[in-house]
Structure 1
């Protein structure tokens, strides 16, 4: 079976989809299965583990944003639950 996601860095708490992933589908992480909670389009992100509101979201080993709500493992990460880390630095 072809892998449907990629994790860019060991520091990442999200993965990027390489294909559409449907709600209820399970993806194999190194040591466990993770159930996907929403339909996630190609190129979008999902949480690898629970991320609390206010926590940093990492992709490429870098901070890409801050969670605006609690995010469960398997949740779609997008503009509805993340805010820009860069905007916070500018507005300050």
Structure 2
């Protein structure tokens, strides 16, 4: 398997990632080790969903697979579920490329 399993609860795919992927349905309070500390889940997180490892501010990149996959639309604390309520996808966004002057 590519990546590293943290605390038997989250898959950290690349060193640059600021989120992990839940490898099971996780309950609030579950802990995972990261960067010499423990990150406690603030809420239940479904299998396959993302959990923040570090604080993210509005506009910060959400990095998974070593690539930006989204942008925080509100502050996200370590241990919080990262999903459509607090993150907007940036993948396949031709409208964003046009705003940035890139060719989609």
TM-score of the alignment, normalized to the shorter chain, above 0.5: yes
Equivalent in 56, 59, 65 of residue 60 of structure 1: 65
Q: Does 1:89 align with 2:101?
A: no
The 3-state SS of whatever aligns with 2:96 is helix
**CA offset at residue 29 of structure 1?**
2.2
The 3-state SS of whatever aligns with 2:70 is strand
Higher relative contact order (CA 8 A, sep 6+): 1
**CA offset at residue 59 of structure 1?**
0.2
Greater Cα shift, 77-86 or 54-63: 77-86
Equivalent in 16, 19, 25 of residue 20 of structure 1: 25
In structure 2, runs of 5+ residues without a counterpart are 1-6, 100-104
Q: After the TM superposition, which parts of structure 1 deviate over 2 Å for at least 4 consecutive aligned residues?
A: 86-92
In structure 1, runs of 5+ residues without a counterpart are none
For this pair of structures, how many residues does the alignment match?
91
| 1:74 alignment partner in structure 2 | 79
**CA offset at residue 25 of structure 1?**
1.7
- Which structure has the larger Rg over C-alpha atoms? 2
Q: Does 1:7 align with 2:12?
A: yes
Q: 1:35, 1:91 → 2: CA distance?
A: 39
**TM-score of the aligned structures, taking structure 2 as reference length:** 0.80
